[in-house]
Amino acid sequence: TATVNLYWHVISQDTTLEGGNIPDSMIADQIAVLNQDYAPSGLQFVLKETIRTTNWYWFNEVGPNTDAQTQMKQQVCSCLVELEGGVADFNVYTVGFTDSEYIGLLGYSTFPADYAGNPMDDGSVILFSSLPGGSTANFNEGKTLTHEAGHWVGLYHTFQGGCTGVGDMVDDTPPEASPASGCPTGRDTCTSPGLDPINNYMDYSDDSCMTQFTPGQSARMADQLRTYRGIDI
């Protein structure tokens, strides 16, 4: 097993809960979910530091590939890269994604192989109301961070590549034509053997539907973490 240090960046637009200023207890509950979900894979996360920043622009506008994102990560995270954080440390940013362009976005992440080219970009940006007890219906049991951390350890979506080709590069997740939503029974979008892996953390199902990583995914994350982050599970 291995332990990963977690740096939690609370980005809020003001000092209220609705404005993203989540209490420490919500962060603790989220980390408990994360650790429960990763325990079978031999990975544990330990909170090293919580950094709180009020910034209206970042909270609302920090979509993928935006100036807001580059600015936020450089300003909030440069200290970590230089002084304490690094390739083996997990940076999580909770934000609002309130701009109409980003409504419905739950989060996004970097992959282990991305670190070398852009160390400052490393980590996951997630919707603050997706934490356990948050206000986002069907997505408020903390599975968004489990999913985004899945990318951070090198996993692709179960529907990657559709029904053909190497898909998610994992053998024991049956291929899937498209993302699942809700929690469908008997979904089977590819002719190859196996029902769609709708209960997998790397699909798009509701939080209540997400219950597992497969042994193949655990093996891939161990390999990716060893190769790119120097972490030995």
- Give the footprint of Ca ion on residues 147-176 (CB under 5 A): 167-168, 170, 173
Rounded Cα distance between 201 and 196, Å, is 12
Count of residues interacting with ligand ARG (CB under 6 A):
13
Rounded Cα distance between 178 and 198, Å, is 11
Query: Which of 22, 202 has the CB closer to Ca ion?
Result: 202
18: Cβ contacts below 8 Å, ≥ 6 apart:
none
Instruction: Name the CA radius of gyration of the chain, rounded.
Output: 17
Q: How far is CA 221 from the centre of its chain?
A: 14
Choose one: 24-32, 50-58, 106-114, 180-188; the region binding ligand ARG (CB under 6 A).
106-114
Rounded Cα distance between 220 and 229, Å, is 13
Buried b (16+ CB within 10 A) or exposed e, 160-198: beeeeeebbbbeebbbbbeebeeeeeebebbeeeeebbb
What minimum distance in Å lies between the beta carbon of 192 and ligand ARG? Answer: 23
What minimum distance in Å lies between the beta carbon of 107 and ligand ARG? Answer: 5
Task: Using CB under 6 A, pick the residue from 9, 73, 143, 229 that binds ligand ARG.
Answer: 143
- Give the footprint of ligand ARG on residues 181-210 (CB under 6 A): 204-207, 210
- The listed partner (Ca ion, ligand ARG, none) that binds 122, CB under 5 to 8 Å by sort, is none
Tokens linked to 185: 């029974």
What minimum distance in Å lies between the beta carbon of 175 and ligand ARG? Answer: 18
- The listed partner (Ca ion, ligand ARG, none) that binds 167, CB under 5 to 8 Å by sort, is Ca ion
Tokens linked to 123: 């980590």
- Give the footprint of ligand ARG on residues 120-139 (CB under 6 A): 139
Question: In DSSP terms, which residues pair with 93 in a beta bridge?
Answer: 9, 125
Task: Return residues touching ligand ARG (CB under 6 A).
Answer: 106-108, 139, 143-144, 147-148, 204-207, 210
Residues assigned a catalytic role: 148
